[in-house]
Amino acid sequence: MLMFDLHCHCLFSDGELIPAELVRRLEVMEYTAVAITDHADSSNMDFIVPRVVKAAEAINRYSSTKLIPGIELTHVHPELVAPLVKKSRELGARIVVCHGETIVEPVAEGTNRAAIEAEVDILAHPGLISPDDVRRAAEKGVHLELSGRKGHSLANGHVASLAQRYGAPLVINSDGHAPGDFMSAEFARMVGRGAGISAVDVERIYENVHRWLKSISALSDE
């Protein structure tokens, strides 16, 4: 069964685990791939991204669960999103996530649209995202996240409904910070079902993510 989590944190920001342990725990859970996407702004991304890249180079020689280097731009001003996306990619991030306008944190208004226009890979927990922003995400191919994390998950139904209406791609992530946060494949699929998505369409989400990761060479052709 395909299983991905493209929004996780290690101790390079506020997670509990080093990359090797995080990946090993998910390997035991039979994940296909995981992205470490630690919280960053202009102060620390040059510290985080190269270290996750280095960890991935070592871990991926031996692990059946592949580590994808990433970053999560978090609470940065909307005007800074685009240049920081560019910088993240230059540093080696393969997955760029932006911390969206969740209903449980004071994220600056306009962050969702700025992230979409900057063509991030994933807009995390976008909260009560507007229909216009969802339409634009569909045009840009930006994945909207259904979150397994407490609080952030409260708007999943809203996000899923609009994404299905306008054809925006979806991804199901844990936003995991600690071992107990990581979801089994079965539970992750229940998160999708709980957001109002059919079992068939939930599987389609994972198949689409698999194809996308191969298209950006984040996974091998194995």
> What does the pLDDT look like over 7-27, one tens digit per residue?
999 999 999 999 999 999 999
Q: Is residue 221 part of a domain?
A: no
Per-state percent for the chain, helix, strand, coil, to nearest 5 = 45, 15, 40
Helices within the chain (DSSP H only):
19-28, 45-59, 78-91, 111-117, 131-140, 156-166, 185-194, 199-215
Query: Given this model, what pLDDT does residue 218 score?
Result: 86
Task: Count how many domains the chain has.
Answer: 1
Q: Is residue 222 part of a domain?
A: no
pLDDT in tens, 173-188: 999 999 999 999 999 9
Nearest CA to 70 out of 123, 22, 14, 8 is that of: 8
Does this model's pTM top 0.85? My answer is: yes
Residues 92-110 as b/e (b if ≥16 CB within 10 A, e otherwise) read ebbbbbbbbbbeeeebeee
Query: Given this model, what pLDDT does residue 169 score?
Result: 98
Q: Is residue 137 part of a domain?
A: yes
Query: Given this model, what pLDDT does residue 219 score?
Result: 85
| Residue 201, domain CATH | 3.20.20.140
Using pLDDT thresholds of 50, 70 and 90, give the confidence band for residue 191: very high
The answer for residues whose C-beta is within 8 angstroms of residue 57's C-beta and 6 or more apart is none
pLDDT in tens, 76-126: 999 999 999 999 999 999 999 999 999 999 999 999 999 999 999 999 999
Residue 206 belongs to domain spanning: 4-215
Q: Is residue 220 part of a domain?
A: no
- The pair phi, psi for residue 209, each rounded to 5°, is -65, -40
